[in-house]
A = this chain, B = another copy of it.
Amino acid sequence: MANILTSRSENYSQWYNDLVTKADLAENSAVRGCMVIKPYGYAIWEKMQQTLDKMFKDTGHYNAYFPLFIPKSFFSKEASHVEGFAKECAVVTHYRLKNDPNGKGIVVDEDAKLEEELIVRPTSETIIWNTYKNWIQSYRDLPILLNQWANVVRWEMRTRLFLRTTEFLWQEGHTAHATATEAVAEARQMLDVYAEFAEKWLAIPVIKGRKSDSERFAGAVDTYTIEGLMQDGKALQCGTSHFLGQNFAKAFDVTFDNKEGKIEYVWATSWGVSTRLMGALIMSHSDDKGLVIPPKLAPIQVVIIPIYKKESELNEISEKIAPIIAKLKQKNISVKFDSADNQTPGWKFSEYEFRGVPVRLAVGPRDLKNNTIEIARRDTLTKQTISQDDIENVVENLLVEIQENIFQKAKTFRENNTRKVETYDEFKQVLDEKGGFILAHWDESAETESQIKEETKATIRCIPLDSVDEEGKCIISGKPSKRRVLFARAY
């Protein structure tokens, strides 16, 4: 077996890197920090895209496409945005190469220098709001509810496949509204869409919340987030939705005549999830034997492996299996029949287990006689021999059960790893010995937040939307606090 993984307990980080590359999800490219997303990884991303795209359209959004390049000056227009975004980025300065006069390959043609440098988009608020300026005159032009699927570039110093790469794929929604109320409702709606997607498709339980001032998106009034807990006890931000107020409208002078005939700045939101979700998916469910993929996102949901010695046995099995495959496909279940003769059944069992295929069926000569089939599930690694009759319904129900089980397992893990603490000592002890989510009182000051971050590397993941009012004292300053907030070390 080539697919030996470092165990999670031994080195979680190494386990993750091994798994991503050995399961053919992605690999590092020749370009620093940029990844190649391999077909198996991309197939999972495509399923995520299709699902989200439908959810966006069902909530009234349309797709569009805006330029990859943004003029440098655009970033200076929104004061806090430039601080947060325009620094570590790819800068295009020239538009032509030429043959090296000394005959050594090609060199940049210094005569082809751009008057104004172009930035490869790290996010598209600026170019989009510069465009919206021409689209919006009256309240009748609102709302604008757009999304784009695109690549973005942020020059990260330390990169990890899917989790933090220089180039990544994402979607970014950008909406324009006539009122603050409507824009806030939009930002909250999209947070709910993300949470539903995370829980029902990715099978990752998430905490919905608001970011603290210092963790907010550069240019936002409020940033909402969904936070997941990975198996190593670290948090991962799975998606964010921002209420941008009138910040970008003011920066790009986007006004409209409201219903009362008065000129007003437009209200905005933006929201995004990225290929980072691939990292979340892997780190939430997979184990020392390889990937565990929730059935709803698995490129192959069922693999069927024939056990045979003679060609005639394979023929008999294939004949018996054909109608089962047809019935599974009719139920929109993606099924692969692997009858390749250059690998043993044992090798195949191990391979599909490693690749996280949720259900495995195996059929041998004895099964033919007995009208039976072996059915194995990836999530529990259990198997049993059952009748071939009605197998398509058994599989269909099992896929639902596996999806639910994977989610429940992750939820139980999170519950077992979410702890309330009352003192800073307790906070540090839990963090170092157990990790996970910590609910603690905080005095709402940036100083306290920054001290905790500096001393423990834990950050406020969010102020949970469902947090209950509770009088308490800040674990650092002892000042009064009205509710607990969620801390964790994070990716």
Contact = CB atoms under 8 A, between A and B. Distances in A.
- Copies of this protein, total: 2
Interface string A69-98: 111111110000010001111111111111
Contact of A108 (B66, B93, B150): B93
A468 interface: no
A298 to B, nearest CB: 15
A29 B74 CA distance: 13
Interface stretch (A37-45, A186-194, A361-369, A459-467): A37-45
Contacts of A1: none
Interface stretch (A6-14, A113-121, A449-457): A113-121
Contact of A105 (B36, B73, B92, B169): B73
Given A65-B36, A127-B30, A151-B151, A97 B86 contact: yes
A46 interface: yes
A339 interface: no
Given A92-B91, A94-B93, A108-B91, A131 B69 contact: no
Interface string A278-300: 00000000000000000000000
A153 interface: yes
B93 A93 contact: yes
B127 A29 contact: yes
Contacts of A2: none
A39 to B, nearest CB: 4
B96 A89 contact: yes
A89 B97 contact: yes
Interface string A49-76: 0000000000000111111111111111
Given A65-B169, A76-B106, A82-B106, 20 more contacts: A29-B131, A30-B67, A30-B71, A34-B67, A34-B69, A36-B67, A43-B63, A68-B153, A69-B167, A72-B106, A73-B105, A75-B97, A76-B105, A87-B96, A90-B92, A91-B93, A92-B93, A93-B108, A97-B119, A108-B117
A357 B36 CA distance: 40
A131 to B, nearest CB: 6
Interface of A: 29-31, 34-39, 42-43, 46, 62-76, 82, 86-98, 105-106, 108, 117-120, 127, 130-131, 140, 146, 150-151, 153, 155, 167, 169, 342
A95 B105 contact: no
B106 A95 contact: no
A74 B75 CA distance: 32
Contacts of A96: 87-89, 91, 155
Contacts of A65: 36-37, 42, 169
Contacts of A90: 69, 92, 94-95, 118
A67 B166 CA distance: 10
Nearest to A342: B140
Given A105-B76, A167-B69, A30 B93 contact: no
A91 B95 contact: yes
A213 B67 CA distance: 34
A89 B95 contact: yes
Contacts of A76: 105-106
A87 B97 contact: yes
A106 B117 CA distance: 11
A39 B105 contact: no
A201 B478 CA distance: 69
B38 A64 contact: yes
B88 A64 contact: no
A95 B92 CA distance: 9
Contacts of A119: 97
Contacts of A92: 90-93, 120
A126 to B, nearest CB: 10
A351 to B, nearest CB: 14
A344 to B, nearest CB: 16
A45 to B, nearest CB: 8
Ranked 9 nearest A-B pairs via Cβ: A34-B67, A76-B105, A39-B62, A37-B65, A91-B94, A95-B155, A93-B93, A90-B92, A31-B67
A127 B62 contact: no
B88 A63 contact: no
